[in-house]
Amino acid sequence: MECPHLSSSVCIAPDSAKFPNGSPSSWCCSVCRSNKSPWVCLTCSSVHCGRYVNGHAKKHYEDAQIPLTNHKKSEKQDKPQHTVCMDCSSYSTYCYRCDDFVVNDTKLGLVQKVREHLQNLENSAFTADRYRKRKLLENSSLNSKLLKVNGSTTAICATGLRNLGNTCFMNAILQSLSNIEQFCCYFKELPAVELRNGKTAGRRTYHTRSQGDSNVSLVEEFRKTLCALWQGSQTAFSPESLFYVVWKIMPNFRGYQQQDAHEFMRYLLDHLHLELQGGFNGVSRSAVLQENSSLSASNKCCINGASTVVTAIFGGILQNEVNCLICGTESRKFDPFLDLSLDIPSQFRSKRSKNQENGPVCSLRDCLRSFTDLEELDETELYMCHKCKKKQKSTKKFWIQKLPKVLCLHLKRFHWTAYLRNKVDTYVEFPLRGLDMKCYLLEPENSGPESCLYDLAAVVVHHGSGVGSGHYTAYAVHEGRWFHFNDSTVTLTDEDTVGKAKAYILFYVERQAKAGSGKL
């Protein structure tokens, strides 16, 4: 939005010596000393924490308004208001009087000059820190080894995502998707949205709550978020622009209450798919997709229209067979899918940890077998038989006709009992590599030896007792090393820790055939 309060609130010099030392993204709040979500006041250059930490930036604005109430109205307008501040991580500008993000600037361009100065300070601090860490690693091979195995050591190259207020469900999904190489690379290579004309030409675009739906692009904000991760230029990135776009186009996720990570993932993939179908920034989806023939050539799974990178990577096809138990009529139906939701078999639901001795451990194979086994539909799911002309008892069985490049498996940990949605806290054992899906295929004889093997790429974990509460984190492998993503904190971990996690969503990537093993 165009803010009318900049001239009275932006008073500091762009290269003010009053700024604290060090990296702006790690500046500490002058009240509580927290370095999470620092904001700098553009009136007095004081640094405070955001509203999702302890809210001292907003309290700083409110305290500055109290003395003004005893002055005349004309004096109010001349006195600096302390109403505008800047996020020290994303460099977006916010006005507390407008209660929205700001896209305009002062006549002298002071906001943009402050933004550029903070970016220079961040880059300088990062360069110095990277040089110091490189020297440390060069001088001690032991430290290098500890970095790879010590689960409590902070990772150097990975970037966390700031929690904007119960947005851990979004952060866990974004970190998981960012570590699926083919999917992530596609978006990072997309062209950026063209810069706007007029007053804001050449400036970075910030989506705000007052903008219309036609001015937002989920693909563009998703692309920018993926580009910010794994650059190593900052310890944490604030995905606020993406979150506001989510608010615009996904009303179910408005507000700051806890949400279901699986539900968010499905909405996200569906909306990315729909937006890519309509073309992106003047470049048609098909033109971009053709550049990567490995995605378009083998893909035959289309959901809601033409194929996109979403269906090319996550898309598979199920065959649903229903047999009437009265006349024997068989009905076959083919359903495309982006993920498979698996029940945890009831006989395992009392087993909460891997080390308990009361019976066998539930495995992912048990869940897959339960999904594909022949089952008789109960009285509430009677099948309408076209031959009998009425609803009859029947059996149902799923086969996988086509496996996706990335197999997403959702374990159904939340279920309704009376008026409550309870959590199934059972530990499910899952392989980190070599998941063989051949026995679930409709025509396994037509598949190569390597085409049905999958290796784990990422895991989303829900901590807590209910879907509306608790906390989400993610594990993901990057360049052979496992990382644990807990909002803005990223730590190195090991395979044993990952294997003990109570998985909620598993992302498996198709194993690539070894070079030279294909047909000539």
The first and second tokens of residue 101, run together, are: 């993000």
Q: Which residue from 96, 99, 119 is spatially nearest to 42, judged by alpha carbons?
A: 96
Q: CA-CA distance, 194 to 134, in Å (whole number)?
A: 37
> Under a CB-based contact definition with an 8 Å cutoff, are residues 1 and 100 in contact?
yes
Among residues 95, 168, 367, 385, the one annotated as catalytic is: 168
Q: Which residue from 209, 6, 19 is spatially nearest to 99, judged by alpha carbons?
A: 209
Q: Which residues pair with 417 in a beta bridge?
A: 420
Q: CA-CA distance, 81 to 426, in Å (whole number)?
A: 55
Strand-pair category, 414-417 with 340-342: unpaired
Among residues 5, 117, 463, 471, the one annotated as catalytic is: 471
> What sign results for the dihedral spanned by CA atoms 213, 217, 508, 427?
negative
Q: Which residue from 407, 406, 507 is spatially nearest to 457, judged by alpha carbons?
A: 507
The first and second tokens of residue 260, run together, are: 């279901």
In this structure, the dihedral spanned by the alpha carbons of residues 271, 274, 279 and 281, taken in order and rounded to 10 degrees, is -20
> Active-site residue 386, yes or no?
no
The first and second tokens of residue 432, run together, are: 């980190």
- Strands (E) across 178-267 are located at 236-237
- 383 sits in which H/E element: strand 383-385
Cα 393 to the center of its chain, rounded Å: 42
In this structure, the dihedral spanned by the alpha carbons of residues 412, 414, 415 and 416, taken in order and rounded to 10 degrees, is -160
Q: CA-CA distance, 312 to 145, in Å (whole number)?
A: 38
Q: CA-CA distance, 357 to 421, in Å (whole number)?
A: 28
CA distances from 481 to 157, 435, 446, 476 (A): 11, 19, 34, 8
> Active-site residue 271, yes or no?
no
Q: CA-CA distance, 8 to 78, in Å (whole number)?
A: 7
- 249 sits in which H/E element: helix 240-249
Instruction: Give the residue numbers annotated as catalytic, written as ranges.
Output: 168, 471
